[in-house]
């Protein structure tokens, strides 16, 4: 009997030891599982950050591509503007040369027109000279000279040249050149043109020759 109980006690003791080891193993597994879960959580926390960092790299690459496209577009626009500038400059140079040639032609043709208009007056002078050599009538000679003078005056008016009417008007340095001053024959002529030595002319209201006058004082 005694031996039987001793064997039984040893068996219970071994069982207790086994149960204790089992509990320790269980605790170890639970702690390991907990650690694994904690590590998994930390990994999950880190993974989103990595995921967020990747798009940033892509955004930078996209921005770089956008800048490259913008630079290319600006270069194309610059080349287009440069081409337009060169074309406009060439057109302006052609226009300037053309206008200069036109002005030269106008000056030449304008001079030719004036000379052509003077030819009839020259013809009248020649006729008058020829008539004077064949007649002793002074009145006909005077009439011929008056006709030539009148035709020449008409010619000047047609070309925009007008004779100044200076005698008796106030002395004006914009139109008159005083050659001398004399005592005014009348009080009303003080500071006015008493006599005209050489007539003045205006061309389209612009003085082309000042009248040389005598001023009363």
CATH number at residue 177: 2.30.22.10
Q: What is the pLDDT of residues 29-88, one digit of tens each?
A: 777 777 777 777 777 666 555 444 455 556 666 667 778 888 998 999 999 999 999 999
23 within a domain of the structure (yes/no): no
> End of a domain among 159, 185, 201?
159
Question: Are residues 150 and 168 part of one domain?
Answer: no
Q: What is the pLDDT of residue 143?
A: 86
45 within a domain of the structure (yes/no): no
Domains held by the chain: number:
2
182 within a domain of the structure (yes/no): yes
pTM: 0.48
Question: Are residues 100 and 80 part of one domain?
Answer: yes
Q: How many Å apart are CA 149 and CA 87, to the nearest integer? A: 56
Question: Are residues 97 and 153 part of one domain?
Answer: yes
Range of the domain at 193: 163-217
Question: Are residues 145 and 107 part of one domain?
Answer: yes
Is the confidence at residue 187, as pLDDT, over 90?
no
Quote the tokens at residue 100: 């200069």
Burial class, 200, CB count within 10 angstroms (exposed 0-12 / middle 13-18 / buried 19+): buried
Question: Are residues 89 and 168 part of one domain?
Answer: no
Question: Are residues 149 and 171 part of one domain?
Answer: no
Q: What is the CATH number of the domain that holds 144?
A: 3.90.20.20
Percentage, residues of the chain above pLDDT 70: 80
Q: Mean pLDDT over residues 7-20, rounded?
A: 60
Q: How many Å apart are CA 189 and CA 160, to the nearest integer? A: 31
> End of a domain among 159, 176, 209?
159
Q: How many Å apart are CA 196 and CA 215, to the nearest integer? A: 9
Q: Say whether 195 sits in a helix, a strand or coil.
A: strand
First to last CA, the chain: 179
**Long-range contacts, stretch 73-82, CB < 8 angstroms, 24+ apart:** none
Question: Are residues 130 and 103 part of one domain?
Answer: yes
């Amino acid at each position: 009997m005694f031996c039987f109980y001793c064997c039984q006690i040893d068996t219970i003791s071994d069982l207790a030891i086994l149960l204790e080891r089992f509990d320790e193993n269980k605790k170890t597994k639970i702690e390991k599982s907990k650690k694994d879960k904690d590590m998994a959580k930390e990994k999950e926390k880190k993974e989103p950050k990595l995921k967020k960092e990747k798009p940033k790299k892509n955004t930078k690459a996209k921005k770089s591509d956008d800048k490259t496209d913008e630079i290319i577009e600006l270069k194309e626009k610059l080349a287009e503007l440069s081409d337009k500038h060169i074309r406009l400059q060439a057109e302006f140079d052609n226009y300037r040369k053309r206008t200069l040639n036109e002005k030269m032609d106008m000056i030449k043709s304008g001079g030719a027109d004036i000379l052509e208009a003077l030819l009839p007056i020259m013809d009248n002078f020649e006729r008058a000279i020829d008539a004077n050599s064949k007649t002793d009538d002074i009145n006909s000679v005077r009439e011929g000279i008056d006709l030539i003078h009148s035709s020449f005056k008409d010619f000047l008016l047609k070309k925009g040249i007008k004779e100044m009417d200076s005698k008796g008007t106030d002395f004006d340095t914009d139109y008159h050149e005083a050659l001398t001053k004399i005592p005014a024959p009348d009080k009303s002529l003080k500071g006015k043109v008493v006599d005209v030595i050489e007539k003045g002319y205006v061309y389209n209201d612009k003085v082309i020759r000042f009248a040389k006058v005598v001023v009363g004082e």
